[in-house]
Amino acid sequence: MKKTAFQKSLFTTYLLLIGVCIGAEITVGALVASVIFFPSAYLGDGILSHFQSGILMTQVFLRFNILLIICTFLITAYEIYLYFTKNQDFISAVILFIVLMGTLAFVLYFTPYIVEAQKLGIEATSTKEFKDIHNFSELAIKAVLIGQIALFFRRVWVEFK
């Protein structure tokens, strides 16, 4: 079936949104975090403590979360649009569910937990519970990233098969 210009534009925008999220996640996780948490490599020793670096990184993630939630909402809306236009794909739906749940967990549970712990001070961020939550937040965002990559390639595969 021939696609309309509107459908092609939606598909292209959808892929662009996924690509923006993937790029932002890699940038924040791999590039920004490595600089923020190791300031001594660039500024010398004694500039920022690990706790202070964590506070800065949290501010980066708070801004990133806005992008992530908006893009995930729009990606979900597009997938719903595809469902109602008879372009259902069970595999894409499962992947989207993983992306959506991971995004919601990261934005609505993990980030607020970390922010609240930081408000309580360095002692609260030194506990095993905090470290476990932080590790789970990293797993959640990695699952989102892998899911977005899979969704990107799955939709391209389905579109061009």
Q: What is the mean pLDDT of residues 93-102?
A: 97
Give the residue, 9 or 83, on which the prediction is more confident.
9
Handedness of CA 115, 116, 118, 122 (dihedral sign): negative
Closest residue by Cα to residue 109 from 139, 76, 88, 84: 139
Q: What is the mean pLDDT of residues 75-86?
A: 90
Q: What is the pLDDT of residues 103-143, one digit of tens each?
A: 999 999 999 999 999 999 999 999 999 999 999 999 999 99
Most confident of 7-11, 17-21, 81-85, 88-92: 17-21
pLDDT at residue 88, as a whole number? 80
Report whether 58 contacts 118 (CB < 8 A). Answer: yes
End-to-end CA distance of the chain: 12
Residue with tokens 């894409």: 92
pTM: 0.92
Q: What is the mean pLDDT of residues 83-103?
A: 92
pLDDT at 87 over 80: no
pLDDT at residue 114, as a whole number? 97
pLDDT at residue 86, as a whole number? 78
Residue with tokens 């990107």: 152
Q: What is the CA radius of gyration of the chain?
A: 19
Q: How far apart are CA 83 and CA 75, in angstroms?
A: 12
Q: What is the pLDDT of residues 27-78, one digit of tens each?
A: 999 999 999 999 988 888 888 999 999 999 999 999 999 999 999 999 999 9
